[in-house]
Amino acid sequence: MAVAQQHPVLIIGGGIIGLSIGWRLAQAGQAVTVLERSEVGPAMLPAATWASAGMLAPYIEAEPGEERLFSLLRESHARWADFSQELMESSGIDTGYRTEGTLVVALDRDQAERLHHQYTFQRRLGIELEWIAGPVARQREPHLACNVLAAIYSPLDHQVDNRKVLIALRTAFLAAGGILRERTTVTEILVDRNQVRGVKITSGETLLAQTVVIAAGAWSAGLPGIPREARPPVRPVKGQMIAIAMPEDAPLVRHVIWGRDVYLVPRRDGRLLIGATVEERGFDSHLTAGGIYALLRRAWEILPSIDEAPVVELWTGLRPGSRDDAPILGRTPVEGLILATGHYRNGILLAPITADAIAELILTGETPALIRPFGLERFHPTNPRQVSGASSEDQLG
Ligand SMILES: Cc1cc2nc3c(=O)[nH]c(=O)nc-3n(C[C@H](O)[C@H](O)[C@H](O)COP(=O)(O)OP(=O)(O)OC[C@H]3O[C@@H](n4cnc5c(N)ncnc54)[C@H](O)[C@@H]3O)c2cc1C
C-alpha cells in the first residue's frame, strides 16, 4: 500500500499561476509543493502559459461593462515592473519585459470610426492614450502598410516574454525552497467531511495537505474529486499562434501592434508572434489551415514586409475561460480548497496580483479585498457562505 506523505500546501498546475503563487509562499517560508503533469517548458503545450503572447495590456482592451475586472488588471499591471525585477534578481533570467507600448491601427474608414469610439471611451476612463494619424504611425513604425489611416498609441500597454518568465519562476521557486514535482498528474482531490485532505497522483501515492490550490488552467473543472459546489466553471478556449523570424539587425517593429482580430508582438530574440484565434473547440488543440491563413492574411495587411519572413513555429494553446471572462480566485465551500483559475486572456498580466492575493489568503486566512469580487460565489448565488454572510474568513489551517 502506498505510504501517505504530509505536505502543508499543494498546488495543482505548474503554469504561471501555480508557480507564482508557489514562489510567493516559499519566499514567506511556507512549505509548498507544485504538482505539474508535464515538464515546465515546451512540453507543457497546449497549456496556456507556454502558448501565450505575454502582453500586459489592460488599457487598450478596456471595454464597457468590465470595470471591476479592469481595476484588477490595472492593479496587477502596476505590480509587473517590480515583479519582473525581483524575478530577474532571484533567477538570473531576463524576463524580456518591454515598455515601448502598443499601437492599434485602422486600415479603412470603418475601422478608424470604430477605433475612435474605443479611444473616446477609454479616454473617459482616464487612460493615457494618443490618437495619431497614419503618417505619424508610419514614422514610428516604418514597415506599417501605407493604407494605415489612423492609430491609437497606448504607452502603458507593455509586454513580457512569457516563456522566459515561466523558466525564471521555476528557478526562483526552487531557489526559495519550494518543491516541484514534474511529470506528476493529480488523479483525484481528496475531500472528507467538507475538508480537503490532499490529492492522489499517478504513481498511486497519496499526498496529504490541509490546503490544496487548483491552478490547473483549462483543466481545472475536470479534476476528479472536486465536489460539484466547489467546481470552477472553466472551459478551454483555443488560440492558434504563429512565430516568424524578423531580420536580427533590423526588427520589423518595436511596438506591439494590434489590428482587426490580430496582434503582432516583437520579441528581443528576433521572433515576431502573430496571434491569436479565439475558438470554442473543447480540448481539441489542432492547428487548422483556416486559422493560420486568417492570422497570416490579417498580419500581412498590416505589415506587408512579413512576406519573405521564415515561419519558425506554429502552436495552439488552451486559455482557461470562465463564464464572465474574469478569474476565479479564493475559497470554495470545501475547507482548504482554494481556486486560482479562469484567467482567460489575461493570466500573464494577472500573475502578480493573483500570487500576492492567494499567498496572503493562505498565510493569513483573510481574503484580500481586491479579489473578493472574483470568488466562486458569484456563479452560485445560493451558496450558504454568501447568503448567510457566514464567516468566510475562518482559518485555513
Ligand atoms: C494563444 C494565447 C495567447 C495569450 N495571450 C495572452 C497575453 O498576451 N497576455 C495575457 O495576460 N494572457 C494571455 N493568454 C492567457 C494566459 O496565457 C493564461 O491566462 C495563463 O497562462 C493561465 O495560466 P495558468 O497557470 O492558469 O494555466 P496553464 O498555463 O494552462 O497551466 C496549467 C497547468 O496545469 C497542469 N495540469 C493540468 N491538469 C493537471 C493535473 N491533473 N495534474 C497536474 N498538473 C495538471 C497543466 O499541465 C498546465 O501546465 C494567452 C493564452 C493563449 C492560449
Look at residue 312 and give its three-state secondary structure: strand
Distance 20 CA to ligand 1 centre (A): 12
Amino acid 160: pLDDT = 98
Q: Is 290 exposed, middle or buried (0-12, 13-18, 19+ CB in 10 A)?
A: exposed
Amino acid 248: pLDDT = 75
DSSP E strands in the chain: the ranges are 5-6, 9-12, 32-35, 55-56, 102-106, 130-133, 150-154, 158-159, 179-181, 186-192, 195-201, 206-208, 211-214, 234-245, 256-259, 262-266, 271-275, 311-322, 328-331, 337-341
Cβ of 22 closer than 6 Å to ligand 1, yes or no, is: no
Q: CATH 3.50.50.60 region(s) of the chain?
A: 5-53+163-234+324-387
- Residue ID of nearest Cα to ligand 1 atom 53: 317
Beta bridge partners of 188: 200
Ligand 1: atom nearest CA of 350 is 11
Residues in the chain where the model's pLDDT stays below 70 = 1-7, 381-397
Q: What is the DSSP string of 325-379?
A: SS-EEEE-SSBTEEEEE--GGGTTTTHHHHHHHHHHHHHHSPPPGGGGGGSGGGG
Amino acid 382: pLDDT = 58
Distance 255 CA to ligand 1 centre (A): 24
Q: Which of 45, 49, 261, 313 to mutate to test the pocket of ligand 1 (most atoms within 8 A of CB)?
A: 49
- Residue ID of nearest Cα to ligand 1 atom 22: 347
Contact 327, 354 (CB under 8 A): yes
Cβ of 274 closer than 6 Å to ligand 1, yes or no, is: no
Amino acid 395: pLDDT = 28
Amino acid 318: pLDDT = 98
Q: Which of 97, 98, 345, 374 to mutate to test the pocket of ligand 1 (most atoms within 8 A of CB)?
A: 345
Cβ of 355 closer than 6 Å to ligand 1, yes or no, is: no
Helix (H) / strand (E) element for 119: namely: helix 109-124
Q: Is domain 99-158+236-321 annotated with CATH 1.50.10.10? A: no
Phi (first) and psi of residue 192, to 5 degrees: -140, 130
| pTM over 0.85, yes/no | yes
CA atoms of 231 and 221, how far apart (whole Å): 6
Amino acid 66: pLDDT = 85
Q: Which of 37, 69, 187 to mutate to test the pocket of ligand 1 (most atoms within 8 A of CB)?
A: 37
Amino acid 385: pLDDT = 47
Amino acid 298: pLDDT = 98
Superfamily name and number for 5-53+163-234+324-387: FAD/NAD(P)-binding domain (3.50.50.60)
- Shortest CA distance to 283 belongs to which of 328, 239, 238? 238
Cβ of 17 closer than 6 Å to ligand 1, yes or no, is: yes
CA atoms of 79 and 290, how far apart (whole Å): 38
Distance 15 CA to ligand 1 centre (A): 6
Per-residue CA distances from 357 to 8, 172, 326, 369 (Å)? 18, 19, 15, 9
Q: CATH 3.30.9.10 region(s) of the chain?
A: 99-158+236-321
Distance 35 CA to ligand 1 centre (A): 14
Amino acid 337: pLDDT = 98
Q: Which residue has the cell 501592434?
A: 257
Q: Which of 33, 220, 242, 319 to mutate to test the pocket of ligand 1 (most atoms within 8 A of CB)?
A: 319
Amino acid 386: pLDDT = 40
- Shortest CA distance to 323 belongs to which of 380, 268, 371, 363? 380
